A = this chain, B = another copy of it.
Amino acid sequence: MADPQDRVDKMIHELKEHGFRVTPQRLAVLKILAASHGHPSVEMIFERIKPDFPTTSLATIYKTVNLLKDLREVVELDFSGESNRYDGNKPYPHPHLNCTKCKSIVDADVDGLTELAQHLAKKTGYQILTHRLDFFGICPRCQETQ
């Protein structure tokens, strides 16, 4: 896990670099994404920001998250049927363990994926830009409580 403060600084830098303003709303959003505790959804970010910025609109969170995604400072984990989740702490493809009961998402420790992608690119002729590996199951805590 990267230092959240470093990630905040990097994100601020990227915003400025590309001529985007660092507004209080954006700062609040990117601080949460920099830590990405639990890989929050837009809705979760929204709830955590409400106390500090009660007037902030959901659309603003969506726009900020997508802006950071376009700047490649946030990884989007999209799910059809439920809300997308975001990781701004490790802004590059990496595998995840998803609990289908409590909907928790944690980083999984698997390596060699990038090399695998390169090998596959050479073999198939595809120009591979990114990848995604997800494991779905029941987390230890949810197994206890049945």
Contacts and interface: CB of A to CB of B under 8 A. Distances in A.
Interface of A: 78-81, 84, 97, 99-100, 108-110, 116-117, 120-121, 123-140, 143
B120 A128 contact: no
B137 A128 contact: yes
Contacts of A137: 121, 126-130
A132 B133 contact: yes
Contacts of A81: 78
Identify whether the interface residues of A are mostly helix, strand, loop, or mixed. mixed
B110 A127 contact: no
A135 B131 CA distance: 4
B140 A136 contact: no
A137 B117 CA distance: 10
Given A78-B79, A125-B143, A130-B136, 5 more contacts: A78-B80, A124-B140, A126-B138, A126-B140, A132-B136
